[in-house]
């Protein structure tokens, strides 16, 4: 008999985890995110943008009463530059156009009946019509001023005013493609800065509902089969995080080119993984509040999905191998294995030889999931 010692033993040293060696660039840190875990040296232009974001976030106070809502509305008017300008110019013109035929018709009947004695008398009709037109125009301007003028004056001169409309509308979810080290959920939020823009497309009422559900802890995790593939998603009482009308609006925005879609949110079929997209948006909205309650709510969202995941791997040569299924996005896979959608960068880095970019995943593709 040749007795041999089994090499798998739990009683001696902790199992060596080469992947977890400190100093590794893409090391996953399972410790709860702390405030000080924020990126240490953010690039200057990023911090400027971040400040602007915070400013916007502060104004988008979803929790206040009627007074707060008024303030919000002003805030939106103030920085909604492209649409707002168009509206302000268009409004008086519209009122002019509507009133012109009606007044003109009235004046023709009233002033052209008596024969004109002199020049003034001869041209009194034309003058009257002209005067009416001019008067209406002035009235329209005055109305426009009363309606919009003082609000415009009161509206805060936002930092966004110096941004071109393009810069605002182009700030997008595709930021998720940056390869960097995600170390905490807090950083995950900053990584999805471009979710801001998508957030603005959602009405405040929509977000308010989802956010309130998350804060109240009434979100539920459901596992259902889509085309025979099990998927984990969060559900609010009666509201799906991936609610169709919300999602449709975002999809239309993507198709119109108003926002770019993060490649990590694309499925092998080229569709958008709406569940993970909405997850990301709500979590980002919560984290921007920077309160303890919203932070906890954001983390709980991730924990719920992580705990409920049914994704399975095989072990080959000591590596975890996951086979991509229909409906998967790289961000969704990362959410299930690491609790963070943006941790897909770890998977991308481990599969560089077979996966060039996040949107290139194929159904049936075998991906290494680093430990």
Partner 1 sequence: MNYAVRLAVLLIGCAGLAQAQDRDLTAGATFMFDGVSTTITPASAQATRHAATFAALPSGCDPQCIAPARLALGVTTLAEPGVLAFLVNDVGANAGFLVDARTPQDRSAGFIPGSVNLPHAALAPDNSLRNDILRALGVRIFEDVFNFADAQPLVVYDGGPTQHDAGALVAHLLQVGYPPGKISYYRGGMQVWSVLGLTVQELPQ
Give the binding site for partner 1 (CB under 8 A): 3-11, 14-15, 17, 30-32, 299, 302-303, 306-307, 309-313, 315, 320, 336-339, 371
All residues at 6 or more sequence positions from 12 whose CB lies less than 8 Å from its CB, including other chains: none
Question: Could you tell me the smallest distance in angstroms from the CB atom of residue 297 to partner 1?
Answer: 14
Alpha-carbon distance of 345 to 351, in angstroms, equals 10
Residue 364, CB half-sphere, CA atoms under 13 Å: how many? 0
Q: Classify each residue of 252-286 as buried b or exposed e, where b means 16 or more C-beta atoms within 10 Å of its C-beta.
A: ebbeeeebbbbbbbbbbeeebbbbbbbbbbbbbbb
Residue closer to partner 1 (CB basis): 24 or 69: 24
Question: Could you tell me the smallest distance in angstroms from the CB atom of residue 5 to partner 1?
Answer: 6
Residue closer to partner 1 (CB basis): 8 or 113: 8
Residue closer to partner 1 (CB basis): 195 or 322: 322
Residue closer to partner 1 (CB basis): 193 or 299: 299
Question: Could you tell me the smallest distance in angstroms from the CB atom of residue 303 to partner 1?
Answer: 5
Alpha-carbon distance of 200 to 223, in angstroms, equals 29
Residue closer to partner 1 (CB basis): 259 or 368: 368
Question: Could you tell me the smallest distance in angstroms from the CB atom of residue 340 to partner 1?
Answer: 8
Helix (H, G, I), strand (E, B) or coil at 229: strand
Residue closer to partner 1 (CB basis): 310 or 362: 310
With left for phi above 0 and alpha for psi between -120 and 50, is residue 343 left, alpha or beta? alpha
Q: Classify each residue of 216-229 as buried b or exposed e, where b means 16 or more C-beta atoms within 10 Å of its C-beta.
A: eeebebeeeeeeee
Residue closer to partner 1 (CB basis): 157 or 315: 315
Question: Could you tell me the smallest distance in angstroms from the CB atom of residue 70 to partner 1?
Answer: 40
Question: Could you tell me the smallest distance in angstroms from the CB atom of residue 341 to partner 1?
Answer: 12
Question: Could you tell me the smallest distance in angstroms from the CB atom of residue 339 to partner 1?
Answer: 4
Q: Classify each residue of 135-174 as buried b or exposed e, where b means 16 or more C-beta atoms within 10 Å of its C-beta.
A: ebbeebeeebeeebeeeeeebeebebeebeeeebbebbbb
Alpha-carbon distance of 192 to 286, in angstroms, equals 13
Question: Could you tell me the smallest distance in angstroms from the CB atom of residue 325 to partner 1?
Answer: 13
Please check whether residue 357 is in contact with residue 345, taking contact to mean a CB–CB distance below 8 angstroms.
no
Residue closer to partner 1 (CB basis): 19 or 74: 19
Alpha-carbon distance of 111 to 74, in angstroms, equals 45
Question: Could you tell me the smallest distance in angstroms from the CB atom of residue 336 to partner 1?
Answer: 8
Alpha-carbon distance of 267 to 77, in angstroms, equals 36
Is the four-CA dihedral 177, 181, 187, 188 of positive or negative sign? Answer: positive
Residue 55, CB half-sphere, CA atoms under 13 Å: how many? 16
Residue closer to partner 1 (CB basis): 188 or 199: 188
């Amino acid at each position: 008999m040749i007795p041999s010692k089994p090499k798998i033993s739990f009683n001696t040293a902790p199992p060596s985890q080469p992947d977890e060696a400190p100093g590794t660039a893409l090391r996953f840190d399972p410790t709860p995110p702390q405030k000080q875990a924020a990126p240490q040296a953010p690039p200057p232009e990023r911090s400027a943008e971040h400040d602007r974001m915070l400013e916007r976030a502060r104004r988008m106070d979803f929790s206040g009463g009627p007074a707060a809502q008024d303030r919000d509305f002003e805030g939106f008017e103030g920085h909604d530059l492209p649409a707002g300008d168009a509206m302000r110019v268009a409004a008086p013109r519209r009122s002019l156009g509507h009133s012109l035929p009606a007044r003109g018709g009235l004046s023709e009947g009233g002033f052209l009946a008596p024969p004109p004695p002199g020049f003034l008398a001869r041209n009194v009709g034309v003058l009257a019509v002209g005067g009416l037109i001019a008067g209406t125009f002035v009235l329209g301007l005055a109305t426009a001023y009363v309606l919009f003028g003082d609000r415009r004056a009161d509206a805060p001169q936002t930092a966004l005013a110096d941004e071109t409309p393009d810069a605002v509308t182009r700030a997008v979810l595709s930021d998720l493609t940056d390869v960097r080290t995600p170390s905490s959920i807090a950083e995950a939020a900053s990584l999805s800065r471009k979710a801001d823009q998508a957030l603005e497309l959602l009405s405040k009422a929509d977000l308010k509902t989802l956010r309130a559900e998350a804060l109240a802890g009434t979100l539920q995790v459901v596992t259902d089969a889509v085309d025979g593939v099990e998927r984990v998603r969060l559900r609010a009482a009666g509201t799906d995080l991936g609610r169709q009308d919300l999602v449709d609006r975002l999809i239309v925005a993507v198709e119109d080119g108003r926002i770019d879609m993060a490649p990590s949110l694309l499925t092998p079929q080229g569709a958008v993984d709406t569940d993970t997209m909405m997850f990301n948006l709500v979590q980002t909205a919560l984290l921007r509040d920077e309160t303890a309650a919203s932070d906890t709510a954001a983390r709980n969202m991730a924990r719920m999905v992580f705990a409920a995941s049914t994704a399975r791997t095989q072990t080959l040569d000591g590596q975890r191998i996951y086979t991509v299924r229909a409906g998967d996005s790289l961000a969704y896979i990362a959410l299930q294995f690491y609790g963070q959608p943006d941790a897909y960068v770890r998977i991308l880095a481990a599969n560089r030889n077979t996966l060039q970019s996040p949107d290139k995943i194929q159904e049936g593709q075998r991906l290494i999931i680093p430990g």
